[in-house]
Every structure is written in structure tokens, then in C-alpha cells.
Structure 1
Amino acid sequence: MAGVGLVAMTLIVAWQVFCRYVLNDSPSWTEPGAVMLMSWFIFLGAAVGVRENYHLGFDVLLYVVPKGGKIWLRMISDIVALAFGIGMIWYGGQLVALTWNTILPSLQISGGWSYVPLVAGGVLICLFALERIVLRLAGEPIDDLLDEMPPAEVAAELETAEIRA
């Protein structure tokens, strides 16, 4: 869905440029529409980052601590992501409530829709972080693949060496 939003935003911006420079008549809805789509794909993409374990974490420490310590560092990282998602829901919900009775003149929709992506992304981040926490507590080997992977800088060097060979 985030990829579709990115493509749609690109098409809207291209339409705006075409209308402005070729037709000399730029539609008023294109810029706020593109910004709203961008909000959606940014927050959906952030949730996917949590789901796929691409969010910020304690990567430097993960290379020097034993396996038992890695589990705790990853758990702390997921708890922080969960807390961040809760904050997104709470404060995003307040923004939606504060702006719901306003109207975006160019789109003719409630101003609250500008902040709904923040809440939706927060909900997904919470769900995905909770999923990782519960699976880890249940003893599922969700971190085994991560432990087998080389650090990013080593992986980049290995990939470069394979290209040269």
C-alpha cells in the first residue's frame, strides 16, 4: 500500500507540473493531496520497518554481546518501538480531534484526515512490535536469522567482492 501511495503521489505531482507549465492552470488539490498521500506511505512504511525489524535498534552493541544479551537488547528495542507507537496513537488522536471540525479548502475534507495516517501508523507499529515481543516471550526463534547475518558493513564488502570476482 505504501508503494502504491508513492506511485500515486508521483503521478499527482507530475500532473501538477504538467498543468502548471503546459496548461498554465495548476489544480489547487494536487499539492495537499500529494502531501496527504506522502503522510500515508511514510507512516505505513515506518510500520513495515518495525514488522521487518528495520527500525532503529542497538546494532553496535549486538556485535559484541552474547546471544542471551542480544535477545534482551532486541526486546528493549521492540518495547521502545511499542511506546513510540502508543505516543503516535495518543498524540495523533488528539490532533485528529482538534482539527476534525476544520475543512481543508482545496480537498473539501476534514482537516483531521491530515493526522489519521499518524494514528494508523501508530496502531500498526504497536501491533507489529507486540507481535515480536509475544513471539520472543513464547520462545519462537525470530532472531535466529538476524544472528546469522553479518554486520551491514561486512555484508557490503562481501557483496563488492562478489561483484569483482
Structure 2
Amino acid sequence: MSEDTIATSPAGPLQHVLDRVSDLTIGAAATALLGLVVVQGWQVFARYVINNSPSWTEPVTVLLLSTAMSLGAASGVHTNRHFGFFLLADSLRPALQRLVRAVSPLVIMLIGAVIAYWAGVLLLDGLDVRIAGAPMPQSIAYLPLAVGGGLMVLFAFNRLLLALRAPSLFDAAGVR
């Protein structure tokens, strides 16, 4: 069973909701990338053309980059376009393939939970400290990491459910 078989399982209401959330996530990541281009363009123009470099562009750039990266990674989990050992899983016997396909989302859920937790801790820790040059909290760049980590957990949980519901493969003798 390939990853495509799991990905094309019949879509229920939960899958439709998660698809919408993923679409919104990709839209936010794309908007952040666009914002990144605009902010960096303004930084270059202000520095080299009008010789007045604004101080707010660096923290805004970090926030936008963190947003694009975190939300893009989370959506990659939903669409199963993330880093993985798919060739290894495909080379295993069907019984082991099912196990690997169930363990993989668990690992992603663990990583997403750690990212969400520690990003949340760091976000809350620096909310009362202001960034020099911008009217934002120093820890604001951790907000997208916390959200992205939470979305990774949600999307990986859905992947786990899909992997567990996928039909087992049997050879002609009925042996796994």
C-alpha cells in the first residue's frame, strides 16, 4: 500500500474540515512570504535609495519568516509532503508497512507537540519585553511556531487515523 492509497481514502466531514484548515494555513504562509518580499524590498529601498534604514524591518522579517516556515511545514504534514522514509516503508512487508505508517505520524505528533509546547513557553516568557525598533513583544516570533506545532499534531493525528483505517494487504495465500 502506497502513501497515495492512504491519502485518497474516502473523505469524510473531518477530512473536509482539515482540508479547509490546511488551505487557510497555506494561504497564510503564502501571504507571509509575500509580506516578506515587500518588507525586504522596502528595507533595501530605504537603506540604499533614501539612506534612512527603518529599524522595524528586521523583527517583522523574522516574524514573517517564522510564519511562512511553521505554517508551511504544518500543511506539509497534512498533504504528506514532508520529509519521510517512504522508500524504506515501501520496501517492507505489508504487515511492517502498516506498522511504519502508524509510527510515522506518532513521531510527527511528538515533534509537533514539543515545538508547540516550547514555543508557547518562550512566547509567554517574552511577552512583556518589547523589541527594539518595533512595537511588538520580543517573543512574538514564537507564536507561529506554537500554532504550527499544534497544527502538525492535528494533521499528524489525522494521518494516524488514515493509516490505521487503511485496508491491510494480503498476498494470494492470505498471509500478511
TM range (shorter): 0.7 to 0.9
- 1:29 is matched with 56
After the TM superposition, which residues 7-46 of structure 1 pair with which residues of structure 2 at under 5 Å, given as runs?
7-46=34-73
- 2:130 is matched with 103
Q: Using the alignment, how far apart are the partners of 1:111 and 1:16 within structure 2?
A: 20
Q: 1:105 Cα deviation (Å)?
A: 2.3
Q: 1:17 Cα deviation (Å)?
A: 0.3
What is the RMSD of the two structures over their aligned residues, measured on CA atoms?
A: 1.7
| 1:140 to 1:103, Cα distance in 2 relative to 1, 3 A | farther
User: Deviations along 1:51-78, whole A, 9 cap, x unmatched?
Assistant: 1112222223123213332222121111
Give structure 2 stretches of 5+ with no counterpart: 1-27, 169-176
> Number of matched residues?
141
Show structure 1 runs of 4+ deviating over 4 A. none
| 1:13 to 1:68, Cα distance in 2 relative to 1, 3 A | same
Q: Using the alignment, how far apart are the partners of 2:49 and 2:138 within structure 1?
A: 31
Q: 1:122 Cα deviation (Å)?
A: 0.6
Q: 1:121 corresponds to which letter in structure 2?
A: G
- 2:115 is matched with 88
| 1:45 to 1:140, Cα distance in 2 relative to 1, 3 A | farther
- TM-score normalised by length of structure 1: 0.79
Using CA pairs under 8 Å that are at least 6 residues apart, name the structure with larger relative contact order, 1 or 2: 2
Q: 1:140 Cα deviation (Å)?
A: 7.0
Percent sequence identity over aligned pairs: 35
Q: Using the alignment, how far apart are the partners of 1:128 and 1:140 within structure 2?
A: 20
Q: Which has the higher helix share?
A: 1
Give structure 1 stretches of 5+ with no counterpart: 142-165
Tell me if the contact between 1:47 and 1:128 (Cα under 8 Å) persists in the aligned partners: yes
Tell me if the contact between 2:124 and 2:139 (Cα under 8 Å) persists in the aligned partners: yes
**Partner residue of 1:55 out of 61, 78, 82:** 82
- 2:6 is matched with none
Say yes or no: does 1:3 pair with 2:30. Answer: yes
